[in-house]
């Protein structure tokens, strides 16, 4: 009982934040300082373990677009860095604190600067909205919840590990995966606003995701409800709706 009370009090004392632009309330158990430290540590690991592209023209292009979008992000406290990694995987990501990494694989899919800005805005949006910290917070809460319920329901000690595993699967499908898809939609919306604010054409976002949809059709994907990303058709439909909501003037 003491453990249950302590755990519940801990959950009640977590920070309460809201996402930029969408103004969604967030559940946070990770402080901004912890998040920044983690981002800096992981960025160093990425640089040390990855093959950095030697294509100066490509590096300069990504840095230019990244700097323009970072300038309208409202986070001058971030130590923005933009790096291209030589890797054919169609991927990009932004770590807490503004460390952005683009794989050459995704740059092969982008047809122009506007489409690079689409990806850049989306990844920067993840960092601005603190999606990584929020996901970690939910996972931590899920782990605590499994232990609390096991004790509260008087699950025998020899079965508590099995119970926790089953609970983890349930929370993954029922809570964490849907929120991951929420994060993706949110990053699309915030990212579109950022690229528009920086002077890029949001309509190119539709073309980029159509390109990604064609690419994904050639590979097996899990059902939408078991994926951290929304279905391609759903995403493109939502992006068109977000574009329609953008202000008339910057």
Give the containing element (helix H, strand E) for 224. none
Q: How far apart are CA 218 and CA 140, in angstroms?
A: 35
**Distance from C-alpha of 240 to C-alpha of 118, rounded to nearest angstrom:** 13
Q: Tell me which residue of 68, 190, 59 sits closest to 126, measured CA to CA.
A: 190
Dihedral sign (CA 49, 213, 133, 171): negative
Are 88 and 105 in contact, with CB atoms under 8 Å apart?
Answer: yes
Dist. CA 63–CA 59, nearest whole Å: 6
φ/ψ (deg, to 5) at 197: -60, -30
By three-state DSSP, how is residue 200 classified? coil
**Which residues have a catalytic role annotated?**
123
**Tokens linked to 38:** 């983690």
Whether the Cβ atoms of residue 185 and residue 235 lie closer than 8 Å to each other: yes
Q: How far apart are CA 133 and CA 39, in angstroms?
A: 10
Hey, CA dihedral for 43, 45, 50, 54, is it positive or negative? Answer: positive
Residues 6+ away with beta carbon under 8 Å from 78: 70, 97, 98, 127
């Amino acid at each position: 009982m003491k453990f249950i009370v302590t755990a519940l009090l801990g959950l009640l004392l977590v920070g309460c934040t809201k996402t930029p632009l969408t103004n969604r309330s967030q559940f946070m158990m990770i402080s901004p300082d912890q998040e920044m430290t983690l981002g800096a540590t992981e960025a160093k690991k990425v640089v040390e373990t990855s093959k950095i592209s030697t294509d100066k023209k490509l590096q300069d292009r990504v840095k230019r677009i990244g700097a323009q979008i970072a300038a309208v992000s409202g986070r001058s406290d971030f130590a923005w860095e933009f790096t291209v990694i030589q890797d054919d995987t169609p991927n990009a990501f932004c770590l807490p604190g503004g460390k952005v990494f683009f794989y050459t694989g995704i740059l092969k899919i982008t047809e122009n600067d506007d489409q690079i800005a689409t990806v850049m805005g989306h990844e920067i949006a993840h960092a601005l909205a603190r999606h990584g910290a929020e996901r970690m917070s939910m996972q931590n809460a899920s782990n605590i919840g499994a232990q609390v319920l096991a004790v509260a329901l008087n699950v025998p000690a020899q079965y508590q590990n099995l119970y926790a595993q089953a609970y983890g699967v349930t929370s993954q499908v029922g809570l964490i995966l849907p929120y991951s898809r929420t994060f993706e939609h949110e990053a699309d919306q915030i990212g579109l606003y950022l690229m528009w604010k920086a002077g890029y054409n949001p309509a190119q976002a539709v073309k980029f995701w159509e390109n990604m949809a064609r690419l994904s059709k050639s590979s097996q994907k899990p059902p939408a409800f078991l994926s951290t990303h929304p279905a391609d058709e759903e995403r493109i439909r939502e992006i068109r709706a977000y574009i329609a909501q953008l202000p008339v003037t910057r």
